[in-house]
Amino acid sequence: MAVITILGAGVMGSAMSLPASDRGHMVRLVGTPLDREIIESVKSSGRHPRLGVKLPPVDAFHHSEFARAVGDDTDLIVLGVSSAGMAWAIDRLCETLSQAIPVLMITKGLYPSGDTIATLPDHLQAEVKRRRGLSLDIAAIGGPCIAGELAARRHTSVVITSRRYEFAEELCTMLAGDYYHPRPSADIAGVEICAAFKNFFAIAVGYAVGSLERLPKAENGAFNYNAAAILFDQAIIEMMVITRHFGGEDHSVWGMPGAGDLYVTCQAGRNSRLGQNLGRGLTYREIKAGPMKDETIEGAELGITLASVLEALTRPDAVDGAALPITRALLDALVHGEPLRIPWDRLHAVH
């Protein structure tokens, strides 16, 4: 039995308490400053208001109690904050840790670093090393996991990756249970790239649904699944090009972190809805001012954050220029305010 302290009590962080607790581990759930009501609810009734379930027995803490939650017996810290909360979380870790406690990251994110991209696990590792002189074992989770389904104990499979592969294996053994099926992966670049980019490309797949509304109604009632499949597959192809470019491996792309997670992401969610609105002919600005006001759309933010790196990749004279037509079209829509235009005759031309 281990002591697992989860920082971030949103849906994904909190959902992790189920497989952890069901495997017999002691779970402490710590909210961020944004999670005050959630923590109050868990403290008083055990219910997580956004997950819609009663959590298993966990000790709940407010953000100011993080050090007390970690104590001197925490074996694993699970980082479940949002990408936007990473700087805050790193501050908390640096002020709290007096020894190296392993970290499992649910938080996803990539950011530009010169002409390449950097991952959050490497960023966290470097910051804690620089500020506290501690070398943490860090792992990250990828793959298809809708938090509400995990919280309902539905079968869920994920990939856990780490620069130290044995650590990823240990975590899989620690967390695997009847309905939670983590698998180790040594491909940290591939897992992180897919975990972030599946949101970006789900926007394009969503386009097929929205654009159907602009087409004349078919006399036989035809939908637009053929087009969705084209875009779904083009997404896999472009994730493969990007993953290879930044040192990841093919099997992550056609495996759970890429194709598997894209499949789930296309079923529902904000990235899909943005794509549907783009398919209806709205611009990104119109959507953000109207139907999706104040919503955080991870795939769009990724594209905007990485715009300079991706623009370089998609220039006509770049090695991969012709191989990334959807990436190019999404950048034009998200960064340059154009309508999303799918270049149908330029897809699947390269692999």
Is residue 98 within 8 Å of 73, Cβ to Cβ? no
Report the candidate in 161, 160, 162, 92 with the shortest Cα–Cα distance to residue 127. 92
173 near a second copy (CB under 8 A): no
- Contact positions with a second copy (CB under 8 A) in 84-143: 143
Q: What are phi and psi of 82, to 5 degrees?
A: -75, 165
Closest CA to 92 of 63, 135, 54: 63
Q: Look up residue 33 and give its DSSP letter.
A: G
H helix or E strand, kind and range, residue 159: strand 156-162
Q: What burial class does residue 289 get, using C-beta atoms within 10 Å of its C-beta: 0-12 exposed, 13-18 middle, 19+ buried? A: exposed
Closer CB to a second copy, 131 or 183, in the complex? 183
Interacting span for a second copy (CB under 8 A) from 76-84, 130-138, 219-227, 327-335: 219-227
Binding-site member from 236, 310, 313, 331 for a second copy (CB under 8 A): 236
Residue 230 tokens read as 């084209």
For 229, the token pair is: 């499949």
Query: Side-chain half-sphere of 261: how many Cα atoms within 13 Å?
Result: 28
In the bound state with a second copy, the residue whose beta carbon lies nearer, of 259 and 334, is 259
Of the listed pieces 56-64, 79-87, 129-137, 247-255, which binds a second copy according to CB under 8 A?
247-255
Distance, in Å, from the CA atom of 263 to the CA atom of 198, rounded to the nearest integer, reads: 9
Among 114, 226, 294, 316, contact with a second copy (rule: CB under 8 A):
226
Compare residues 192 and 261 and give the one whose CB is closer to a second copy: 261
Q: Which is nearer to a second copy, 21 or 156 (CB)?
A: 156
**# residues contacting a second copy (CB under 8 A):** 61
Q: Is 45 in the site for a second copy (CB under 8 A)?
A: no
Query: What region does 334 belong to: left with phi over 0, alpha with psi -120 to 50, or beta?
Result: alpha
Q: Using the rule CB under 8 A, is 176 a contact of a second copy?
A: yes
Footprint of a second copy on this chain (CB under 8 A)? 51-54, 143-146, 148-152, 154-157, 159, 176, 179, 181, 183, 215, 218-230, 232-233, 236-237, 240, 250-251, 253-256, 259-261, 263-264, 267-268, 342, 344-345, 347-349, 351
